[in-house]
Amino acid sequence: MRSNTPHIIREFDEAFLSLGGKVSTMAGQTRINLERSIQGLLNRDIDLCRAVIADDADVDETEREIDAEGLDILMRYHPVASDLRKVISSMKVAANLERISDHAVNIAKRAKKMISRPLVSEAKLIEPVYSLADALLRDAVAAYIDSDSGLGASLKLRDKELDKADKRTTARLSELLEEGGENAELFLHLVFVVRSLERVGDLAVNIGEDAVFLDLAEDIRYRRKAAVAIVKEHPVGNADEDPVQPGQEGDEGERAGESTGSGNE
């Protein structure tokens, strides 16, 4: 973690403070966007959906600023050690947050279409999936801001739970789809909403990996065993339960971003 000793160049500390602040801001914007997209869907609030779509531009702008400031710091100060990791991981976290916000936009766009049709009670099925995805996002951001490698690595293990909820919910919605009827289109929208939430979880896992890199200089991407080891060594204080489930060790997981369907549709 970065020490609190001031840098010999005052502008260097200011640049770092600004960069960290921007990442926090962007994380807040993104999380609110995701929350409002789900609220818009469940409460059939079309204004909220429109706000999500409009506010995504702010997230995009913040990402651009983070990249510009990060490049500026690299170019001017040649940071090393934890400072170097801070710059690199801030830029990576920003890219992941931007994509999460894109998923919020996807959800908001589908919500808008759904609102024009009568309410289906099955919309409630997405709530537990959202809760899991949001918890991962919240902890990913916290792990990053606090340089908490234990919490960051735990996300890789906890994401399984979200994957299961995604499979379960998608299976249920597929059944309803197969039955056909006038609501088939709504169920299809819901399948895509659930899929977006699952992708949010994957992107939160990426941010957790960035937090580990920031804290320990260790790259745990595609290395589930490394994540398990870090969680054991740096236990998560306020975890609700043991994130390492039996039978999970050694199962190399896929990483978000390499597979299809991540951008705006």
Partner 1 sequence: MTREDFIAVDRFSFFYGEKQALHDIDMRIPERRVTALIGPSGCGKSTLLRNMNRMNDLIDGVRHRGDIRLNGQSLYDPKVEVISLRKRVGMVFQKYNPFAKTVYENVVFSLRVAGRNRKRELDEVVERSLRSAALWEEVKDRLHDSAFGLSGGQQQRLCIARAIANQPEILLMDEPCAALDPTATLKIESLIRELKEQFTIVIVTHNMEQATRCSDRTAFLYMGRLIEYGDTKQVFENPREDETEAYISGKFS
Take residue 164 and report the two structure tokens written for it.
Answer: 């299961």
Q: How far is the CB of 137 from partner 1 (least distance, A)?
A: 27
Nearer to partner 1, 82 or 131 (CB): 82
From 46-54, 83-91, 124-132, 166-174, span contacting partner 1 (CB under 8 A): 83-91
Q: How far is the CB of 51 from partner 1 (least distance, A)?
A: 41
208 with 156: CB under 8 angstroms? yes
Q: Say whether residue 124 binds partner 1 (CB under 8 A).
A: no
Of 39, 82, 248, 262, the one binding partner 1 (CB under 8 A) is 82
- Single-letter residue type at 143: A
> How far from 259 is each of 37, 111, 255, 256, CA to CA, in Å?
23, 24, 8, 7
Nearer to partner 1, 8 or 171 (CB): 8
Considering only residues 10-39, where is the footprint of partner 1 by CB under 8 A?
A: 12
Considering only residues 213-252, where is the footprint of partner 1 by CB under 8 A?
A: 216-217
Nearer to partner 1, 19 or 176 (CB): 19
Q: How far is the CB of 71 from partner 1 (least distance, A)?
A: 17
Nearer to partner 1, 78 or 124 (CB): 78
Considering only residues 51-80, where is the footprint of partner 1 by CB under 8 A?
A: 77-80
Of 22, 36, 85, 112, the one binding partner 1 (CB under 8 A) is 85
96 with 210: CB under 8 angstroms? yes
208 with 89: CB under 8 angstroms? no
Q: How far is the CB of 209 from partner 1 (least distance, A)?
A: 16
Q: How far is the CB of 140 from partner 1 (least distance, A)?
A: 22
Take residue 6 and report the two structure tokens written for it.
Answer: 């001031």
Buried b (16+ CB within 10 A) or exposed e, 135-166: bbbebbbbbbeebbbbbbbbbbbbbbbbeebb
CA 72 to chain centre: 26
196 with 126: CB under 8 angstroms? no
From CA 11, how far away is CA 110, in angstroms rounded? Answer: 45
Q: Say whether residue 7 binds partner 1 (CB under 8 A).
A: yes
Would you tell me which residues interact with partner 1 (CB under 8 A)? 3, 5-9, 12, 77-85, 216-217
